[in-house]
Amino acid sequence: MSEKNEMHSAVVPPTGLWWSPVPRQEKVWITIAFIWCMILFAMMPLWHIRGGQNPSGVRGKVKPADYVARTMQFVADYQVGTENGIPVVEPPAGSDVYLLGRMWSWFPVLKLKKNTEYTLHLSSADINHGFSLYPMNLNFQVVPGYDYGLKITPNQAGDLRIICNEFCGILHHMMVGKVLVTE
């Protein structure tokens, strides 16, 4: 390390050559921070390969009216009942499941089986909504004009709620849906 005859604050214009060697402690910290940044980065691709939770999905554009029609067909195919005026739908294992967000409800109620894979499609009939599965705390953005198809496998039975967590107007707080997972 070189000799240092002068030190100044950050309000002083430095004169002469200030491109000088870095003190040892600072150098060690920068090295540790850099390695840590590379670990932070590597974790994401690694989780795509080894981890079970990724937001990739099968993504595509869809006209809101078309998505509504697909959801209606899905309900007509697999409806098993009604709850609070909302159809309850039990799709077969491995099938495409359509969930529609609209001001201000989630449509329909879903009945799924534990340890079974489905492709859950999310989209909106009107404006942005937020899919938040409670109490699992699994969150996805629901954007009108886009179909977000996520491969899901429920890992425990239970009676879950879908909370809307993207502001969607005055009755946003009433937008609660339901997912039932059976053994």
Partner 1 sequence: MNLTAHAVEWINRFRTCPVTGLKVNKDAENLVKANAVLAVVFLLVGALAAVGLVLTRWQAVHLLPADWFYRILTLHGLNMLIFFIIFFEMAVLYFAGPILLNARQPAPWLGWIAFGLMSGGAILTDVIILMGKADVLFTSYPPLKAHPLYYLGIIFFAVGALIVTGLFFAALVVAKKEKTYEGSVPLVTFGALTAAIIAAITLVHGAATYIPTFLWSMGLIELDAQVYRLLFWALGHSSQQINVAAHVSIWYLLAGLTVGGVVLNEKVSRVAFLLYILFISMASAHHLLVDPGMGPAWKVWNTSYAMYLAVLASMVHGFTVPAGIEMGMRLRGYTKGTFEWLRKAPWGDPGFSGMMLSLVIFGFLGGITGVVIGTEQINIIAHNTMRLPGHFHATVAGGTALAFMAVTYYVLPLIFRKRVSLWPIAKIQPYVFGIGLTTMSMSMIYMGILGVPRRHWDISFSNAPFAVEFHSIVYVVQAVFGIGGLLTATGALLFVAIAVTTVFFGKPLTAESIQQKRSGIPNGILNPPKQIHQGPNVNPTYKAGVKGTVILVAIFFACFVLYYFVNWKILSFLWKVG
Tokens of 37: 């940044």
Which one, 72 or 132, has the nearer CB to partner 1?
A: 132
For residues 128 and 166, the answer to whether their CB atoms sit within 8 Å is: yes
Tokens of 139: 């969150």
Q: Contacting partner 1 (CB under 8 A), which of 15, 49, 65, 183? A: 15
Residue 50: CB minimum distance to partner 1, A: 10
Which one, 95 or 165, has the nearer CB to partner 1?
A: 165
Residues 66-105 that bind partner 1 (CB under 8 A): 84-86, 105
What's the rounded Cα separation, in Å, for the pair 138 and 53?
Answer: 10
Q: Does residue 125 bind partner 1 (CB under 8 A)?
A: no
Q: Does residue 126 bind partner 1 (CB under 8 A)?
A: yes
Q: Does residue 56 bind partner 1 (CB under 8 A)?
A: yes
Backbone φ and ψ for 89, nearest 5 degrees, come out as -125, 130
Q: Contacting partner 1 (CB under 8 A), which of 95, 113, 146, 157? A: 146
What's the rounded Cα separation, in Å, for the pair 79 and 4?
Answer: 79
Residue identified by tokens 């879950």 is 160
Total number of residues that touch partner 1 (CB under 8 A): 95
The stretch near partner 1 (CB under 8 A) out of 73-81, 91-99, 171-179 is 171-179
Q: Contacting partner 1 (CB under 8 A), which of 97, 99, 100, 168? A: 168
What's the rounded Cα separation, in Å, for the pair 135 and 155?
Answer: 13
What's the rounded Cα separation, in Å, for the pair 16 and 88?
Answer: 76
